[in-house]
């Protein structure tokens, strides 16, 4: 593993992928990261669908009106779902798992991008979660939070520029405290 500070600086959203497949070890590492994510009361309210079928990836790329087309070129899409009846904080559980997958991807030298599904719509105005549920036969009790598109990086992205850190958003002891 590389230095964590470098890892979080290097992780940038990747929306362009080469056609190279992932190794089985890489896929397992990504899924382990998802399953090791912390959850409230260890409820593990999530369920993950790992999609590598090109036809399904193509269908999922239409899950939103915009900013989801690149799913079609990903080697793998991990669809992050959770059961609201299993946890009242399923959104937090699923969000944390999503970023854990992204950080593991970066550690493997892979690119990834979060595609928001919850509260989003297709070009035809259908709720994105309903669309994804239909494509992948996801049971009704599960909500779809995100799709993490993963693949070998198809372009260079600059690491986060620390000069752009919004230190004014940090308050010491009391709001407004410096
Ligand atoms: C909750 C959330 C939803 C996002 N949804 C999308 C999305 O639907 N499509 C997309 O291309 N990027 C999406 N992103 C990626 C953001 O656009 C990206 O993280 C942000 O612009 C900062 O860029 P960076 O990740 O390269 O640092 C999402 C990120 C988060 C955290």
Q: Is 113 in the pocket of ligand 1 (CB under 6 A)?
A: yes
Query: Does residue 96 lie in a domain region?
Result: yes
In a domain, 176, yes or no: no
- Asked if residue 158 belongs to a domain, the reply is no
CA of 120 to the centre of ligand 1 (A): 13
> In the predicted model, is pLDDT for residue 47 greater than 60?
yes
Spatial distance between the Cα atoms of 23 and 34, rounded to a whole number of angstroms: 17
- pLDDT for 2: 64
Protein residue whose Cα sits closest to atom 20 of ligand 1: 13
Which of 8, 13, 14, 91 is the pocket-test mutation for ligand 1 (most atoms within 8 Å of CB)?
A: 13
Q: Is residue 162 part of a domain?
A: no
Task: Write the pLDDT tens digit of every residue in 78-129.
Answer: 999 999 999 999 999 999 999 999 999 999 999 999 999 999 999 999 999 9
Give the burial class of 131: count Cβ atoms within 10 A of its Cβ; 0-12 exposed, 13-18 middle, 19 or more buried. buried
Whether residue 120 lies inside any domain: the answer is yes
- Domain presence at residue 171: no
Instruction: Compute, in angstroms, the gap from residue 107 CA to the centroid of ligand 1.
Output: 18
Full residue range of the structural domain in which residue 90 is found: 13-153
Q: Is the pLDDT of residue 1 over 60?
A: no
pLDDT greater than 70 at residue 76:
yes
């Amino acid at each position: 593993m590389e230095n964590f500070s470098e890892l979080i600086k290097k992780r940038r959203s990747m929306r362009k992928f080469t056609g190279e497949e992932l190794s089985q070890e890489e896929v397992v590492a990504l899924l382990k990261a998802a399953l090791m994510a912390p959850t409230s009361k260890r409820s593990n309210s999530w369920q993950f669908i790992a999609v590598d079928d090109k036809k399904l990836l193509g269908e999922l790329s239409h899950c939103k009106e915009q900013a989801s087309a690149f799913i079609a070129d990903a080697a793998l899409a991990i669809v992050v779902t959770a059961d609201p009846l299993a946890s009242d904080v399923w959104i937090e559980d699923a969000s944390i798992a999503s970023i854990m997958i992204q950080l593991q991807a970066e550690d493997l030298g892979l690119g990834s991008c979060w595609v928001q599904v919850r509260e989003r719509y297709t070009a035809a105005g259908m709720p994105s979660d309903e669309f994804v549920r239909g494509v992948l036969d996801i049971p009704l009790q599960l909500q779809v939070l995100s799709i993490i598109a993963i693949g070998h990086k198809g372009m260079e992205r600059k690491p986060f520029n620390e000069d752009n850190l919004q230190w004014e958003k940090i308050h010491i002891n009391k709001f407004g405290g410096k």
